[in-house]
């Protein structure tokens, strides 16, 4: 009898548990049904106000500009030095020189430590020191644990002040560069990007010229020393350090490692290369018979970030691009022409950038794709953007604004970059306000003023036989581009 009662109680408990589960499930289902909303109905809080973390800026007597920004969240310190130089300043007959200078500054060791010694010391501390020279600036950087800061910062100072430029490391860098030259036609998008810049800026422009076997062979170690000595001086450098340190001690360390570096009183801001459009129209073609699709680029010379209309042009970018943009909706979703498609006003800090549009499409849709792109560029000039399009573009732009300040290092880098190019420190905040104030009329005005459909340069990289109808439907004259690598060796026969 007791056993039956016990089993009965167990059954009752089980039924109660099942009922409770059903009741909770039902409640959750009802809650989900009544509370679920379409994404467009969601009410999101306003974006938080972004504030730049506290930082210190000072200048050493030798002219070195220094930014310090403490961040004690992790026991790490990193720093970057911006050097006023760039590969656009290298001689045309020695393209590649600046890149080799930046690379071998680090890989070639210093006068105090060989490359192997430098690598070993850094590896033991899970630290890094790097250096490079790009188009419009040079840079050197370091990353270290707080406890290793003095040692790593000392090595960083050595790389900046006394690189050895070991000959064997230059030889290695030149060999690697030649390997890159040999492979540069493997990627059709790479071909398109490289050749399009030449069509916009001119093949001999510092903003589009390419490294070749001949220019690599002309670079000697003495050239690296000369290039380094021309630009690497304390009064030509901006240094920024962020991380887990005490600013007073860090200031003393900077003074100890860089204070006795003599300034160069004769250094002057380099004269930048002039820029003018190499072509103001035309259709150009690179034949790649192995391809089953075409890479297409259209565009013309553009402008700079400091244009008073930059914010409105960036909103225009938002109207054209993205999953809700005109190009995606029309060329991909409605017409089914594109695997990818985009159009962008792409400025630069101190020289004109490019307005560029393009994408990838199947060979037999190439001509239709180009015409559709041209039509959308003209349409944004004549058909005012709707309130929905404007809101989407502005919200996307403003919502992404916070990603400019994801961490203190990124914020400090931006402050340094603005000083490097002579922009106001609050440039990004001015841009934010200008985006918020942009109207549909502004977008249409800048589209009419800055976009030049009649001057579009068109480049197609694809299979000539498979592109049907032919590109002559776009223009009576289609100019072929030969991308054969100068000085390349013919393949040996088996």
Task: Identify whether 236 is part of a domain.
Answer: yes
Tell me the CATH number at 174.
Answer: 3.30.830.10
Average pLDDT estimate for 307-314 = 97
Q: How confident is the model at residue 218 (pLDDT cuts 50, 70, 90)?
A: very high
Residue 116 lies in domain: 56-258
How much is the average pLDDT of 356-379? 97
The answer to whether 288 and 341 are in contact (CB under 8 A) is no
Query: Residues 138, 215: one domain?
Result: yes
Dist CA 101 CA 350 (whole Å): 23
Residue 391 reports pLDDT greater than 80: yes
Do 95 and 148 lie in a common domain? yes
> Residue 32 domain-assigned?
no
Number of folded domains that form the chain = 2
Which of 27-36, 184-193, 262-271, 418-427 shows the lowest per-residue confidence on average (mean pLDDT)?
27-36
pLDDT of 6 reads: 42
62 and 183 together in one domain: yes
Quick one: pLDDT at residue 480?
98
Q: Torsions phi, psi of 130, nearest 5?
A: -130, 160
- What pLDDT is recorded for position 490? 46
What would the mean pLDDT of 28-32 be, rounded to a whole number? 46
pLDDT > 50? residue 220 = yes
**Residue 492: which pLDDT band, with cuts at 50, 70 and 90?**
very low
Residues 75-93: what's their mean pLDDT?
A: 97
Whether 10 has a pLDDT exceeding 70, the answer reads no
Residue 13 has pLDDT above 60, yes or no: no
Would residue 223 count as lying in a domain? yes
Rounded CA separation 388/433 (Å): 20
Write down the mean pLDDT value for the chain: 91
Q: Determine, yes or no, domain membership for 37.
A: no
Q: Same domain, yes or no, for 413 and 336?
A: yes
Question: What pTM, to 2 d.p., does this model score?
Answer: 0.87
Burial class (CB in 10 A: 0-12, 13-18, 19+), 421: middle
Q: Is residue 290 part of a domain?
A: yes
Within a domain: 91: yes
Helix (H, G, I), strand (E, B) or coil at 138: strand
Cα–Cα distance measured from residue 103 to residue 97, given in angstroms and rounded to the nearest whole number: 10
pLDDT grade, residue 489 (50/70/90)? low
Same domain, 191 and 288: no
pLDDT at 15 exceeding the cut of 80: no
Cβ atoms of 224 and 100 within 8 Å: the answer is yes
In tens, the pLDDT along 168-201 reads: 999 999 999 999 999 999 999 999 999 999 999 9
pLDDT over 70 for what percent of the chain? 89
Angle at 272 between CA 269 and CA 277, to 5 degrees: 165
Q: What pLDDT, on a 0 to 100 scale, did the predictor assign at position 44? A: 63
* Residue of higher predicted confidence among 300 and 403: 300
pLDDT for 2 equals 40
Using DSSP's 3-state secondary structure scheme, residue 284 falls into strand
Query: Do 242 and 374 have their domain in common?
Result: no
Same domain, yes or no: 325 and 220: no
The pLDDT assigned to 23 comes to: 46
Run of H or E residues at 178:
helix 167-182
pLDDT-above-90 percentage for the chain: 83
Please give the span between the terminal C-alpha atoms of the chain, in angstroms, as a whole number. 96
Q: Is residue 452 part of a domain?
A: yes
pLDDT at 46 (0 to 100): 67
pLDDT (0 to 100) of residue 270: 85
Encoded tokens for 428: 């990004």
* Alpha carbon distance 351, 347 (integer Å): 8
Do 292 and 383 belong together in one domain? Answer: yes
Label residue 39 by pLDDT band (50, 70, 90). Answer: low
For residue range 347-360, list pLDDT tens digits in order: 999 999 999 999 99
* Same domain as 336, residue 237: no
The answer, yes or no, to whether residue 30 has pLDDT greater than 60, is: no
* Residue-wise burial string across 432-449, b where 16 or more C-beta atoms lie within 10 A, e elsewhere: bebbeebebebbbebbee
3-class SS at 188? helix
Q: Tell me: do 150 and 212 sit in the same domain.
A: yes
Average pLDDT over residues 410-437: 95
Q: How does residue 266 score in pLDDT terms, banded at 50, 70 and 90?
A: very high
| Helix, strand, coil abundance in the chain, percent, nearest 5 | 50, 15, 35
User: Which segments within 20-122 are labelled E, that is strand?
Assistant: 56-59, 65-70, 76-83
> Is residue 216, in this structure, part of any structural domain at all?
yes
Q: What is the pLDDT of residue 17?
A: 54
Q: Report long-range pairs for 267-270 (Cβ below 8 Å, ≥24 apart).
A: 267/231, 267/233, 267/235, 267/236, 269/84, 270/84, 270/85, 270/89
Task: Please provide residue 484's backbone torsions phi and psi, each rounded to the nearest 5 degrees.
Answer: -55, 135
Residue 494 has pLDDT above 70, yes or no: no
Do 160 and 70 lie in a common domain?
yes
Mean pLDDT within 15-38: 51
CA–CA dist 446, 310 (Å, integer): 9
Model pLDDT for residues 43-62, shown as the tens digit of each residue:
666 666 778 889 999 999 99
Q: Is 459 found in the same domain as 330?
A: yes
269-285 pLDDT tens trace: 888 999 999 999 999 99
Domain boundary among 243, 258, 273: 258
The answer to whether residue 22 scores a pLDDT higher than 60 is: no
């Amino acid at each position: 009898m007791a056993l039956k009662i016990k089993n009965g109680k167990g059954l009752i408990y089980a039924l109660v548990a099942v009922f409770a589960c059903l009741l909770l499930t039902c409640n959750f289902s009802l809650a989900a049904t009544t509370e679920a909303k379409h994404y467009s109905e969601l009410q999101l809080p306003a974006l938080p106000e972004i504030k730049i973390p506290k930082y210190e800026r000072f200048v050493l007597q030798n002219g070195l500009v220094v930014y310090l920004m403490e961040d004690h969240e992790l026991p790490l310190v990193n720093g970057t030095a911006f050097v006023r130089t760039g590969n656009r300043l290298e001689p045309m007959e020695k393209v590649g020189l600046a890149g080799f200078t930046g690379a071998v500054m680090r890989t070639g060791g210093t006068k105090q430590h060989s490359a192997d010694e430098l690598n070993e010391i850094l590896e033991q501390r899970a630290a890094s020191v790097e250096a490079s020279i790009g188009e419009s600036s040079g840079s050197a950087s370091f990353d270290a644990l707080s406890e290793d800061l003095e040692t790593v910062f000392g090595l960083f100072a050595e790389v900046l002040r006394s690189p050895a430029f070991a000959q064997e490391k230059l030889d290695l860098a030149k060999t690697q560069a030649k390997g890159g030259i040999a492979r540069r036609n493997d990627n059709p998008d790479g071909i398109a990007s490289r050749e399009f810049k030449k069509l916009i800026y001119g093949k001999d422009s510092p903003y589009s010229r390419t490294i070749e076997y001949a220019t690599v062979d002309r670079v000697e170690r003495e050239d690296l020393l000369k290039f380094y000595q021309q630009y690497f001086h304390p009064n030509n450098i901006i240094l920024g350090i962020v991380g887990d340190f005490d600013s007073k001690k860090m200031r003393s360390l900077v003074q100890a490692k860089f204070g006795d570096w003599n300034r160069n009183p004769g250094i002057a801001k380099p004269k930048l290369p002039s820029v003018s459009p190499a072509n103001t129209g035309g259709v150009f073609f690179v034949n790649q018979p192995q391809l089953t699709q075409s890479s297409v680029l259209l565009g013309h010379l553009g402008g700079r970030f400091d244009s008073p209309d930059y914010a409105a042009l960036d909103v225009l970018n938002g109207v054209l691009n993205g999953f809700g943009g005109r190009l995606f909706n029309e060329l991909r979703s409605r017409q089914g022409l594109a695997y990818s498609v985009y159009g962008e006003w792409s400025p630069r800090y101190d020289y004109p950038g490019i307005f560029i549009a393009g994408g990838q499409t199947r060979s037999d849709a190439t001509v239709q794709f180009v015409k559709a792109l041209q039509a959308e560029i003209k349409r944004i000039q004549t058909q005012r953007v709707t309130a929905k399009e404007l809101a989407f573009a502005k919200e996307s732009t403003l919502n992404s604004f916070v990603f400019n300040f994801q961490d203190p290092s990124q914020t400090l880098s931006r402050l340094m970059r603005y000083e490097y190019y002579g922009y106001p420190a609050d440039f990004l905040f001015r841009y934010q306000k200008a985006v918020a104030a942009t109207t549909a009329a502004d977008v249409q005005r800048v589209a009419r003023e800055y976009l030049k459909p009649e001057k579009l340069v068109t480049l197609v990289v694809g299979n000539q036989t498979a592109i049907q109808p032919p590109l002559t439907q776009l223009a009576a004259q289609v100019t072929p581009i030969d991308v054969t690598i100068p000085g390349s060796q013919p393949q040996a026969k088996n």
